[in-house]
Amino acid sequence: MLDILQTIVVTIATLAILVAVHEFGHFWVARRCGVKVLRFSVGFGRPLLKWTDRSGTEYVVAGIPLGGYVKMLDEREAPVPEELQSQAFNRASPKSRIAIAAAGPLANLILAVFVYWLIFLNGVSGVAPIVAEVEADSLAARAGIVAGQEFIAVDGKATPTWEALQMQLLERIGEDGDIHFSLKYPDSDLIYQSTVTLNGWMHDVDEPNPVRELGVSLYMPTLLPTLDQVMPGSPAERAGMQTGDVVLSIDGNAVGTWNEWVEFVRGIPEQTVKIVVERAGQQRELQITPERKLDEANKAYGYVGVSVAMPEWPEEMLRNVQYGVFGAATAAVDKTWQMSVFTLTSIKKMLTGLLSPKNLSGPITIAKVASSSVQYGFFSWLTFLALLSVSLAVLNLLPIPVLDGGHIVYALVEWVIGKPVAEQVQVWANQLGLVLVVFVMVFALYNDVLRL
Positions marked active-site: 23
Bridge partners (DSSP) listed for residue 247:
277
Backbone phi, then psi, for 28, in 5-degree steps?
Answer: -65, -45
Question: What is the DSSP-derived secondary structure letter of residue 397?
Answer: T
Decide the pairing of beta strands 306-308 and 318-321.
unpaired
Secondary structure E strands in 242-305: 246-250, 253-254, 273-279, 282-288, 291-294, 300-303
- Please answer whether residues 131 and 219 qualify as being in contact, where contact means their C-beta atoms are separated by less than 8 angstroms: yes
- Please answer whether residues 119 and 334 qualify as being in contact, where contact means their C-beta atoms are separated by less than 8 angstroms: no
- Please answer whether residues 245 and 226 qualify as being in contact, where contact means their C-beta atoms are separated by less than 8 angstroms: yes
- Please answer whether residues 138 and 216 qualify as being in contact, where contact means their C-beta atoms are separated by less than 8 angstroms: yes
Contacts of 424 (CB under 8 A, 6+ apart): none
HSE (side-chain half, CA atoms, 13 Å) at 157: 15
Burial class (CB in 10 A: 0-12, 13-18, 19+), 145: buried
- Please answer whether residues 343 and 426 qualify as being in contact, where contact means their C-beta atoms are separated by less than 8 angstroms: no
